[in-house]
């Protein structure tokens, strides 16, 4: 896949991460806050689209199953 695909998915996951970060900060909840920060950083350290999608999808669903 080309660089534009990576850019689109990076923007998507960063936007979702921003939402989790803001929610976790307002609710003082650690899980969405940490997931949001991780989704911010994820596109910078993973250059492969497939791995970005797999890890990003797993991170997005973590707050729905772990309620701390």
The pLDDT value recorded for residue 2 is 75
Rounded (5°) CA angle 31-10-34: 15
What domain range is 49 assigned to? 3-65
Split into its structural domains, the chain has a count of: 1
* Placement of tokens 């199953």 in the chain: 65
Contact 53, 39 (CB under 8 A): no
Residue 63 has pLDDT above 70, yes or no: yes
pLDDT in tens, 6-54: 899 999 999 999 999 999 999 999 999 999 999 999 989 988 899 999 9
The pLDDT value recorded for residue 67 is 78
């Amino acid at each position: 896949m080309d660089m534009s695909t990576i850019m689109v998915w990076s923007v998507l996951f960063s936007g979702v991460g921003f939402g989790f970060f803001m929610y976790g900060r307002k609710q003082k909840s650690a899980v969405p806050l940490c997931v949001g920060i991780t989704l911010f950083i994820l596109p910078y350290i993973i250059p492969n689209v497939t791995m970005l999608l797999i890890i990003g999808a797993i991170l997005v669903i973590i707050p729905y199953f772990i309620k701390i």
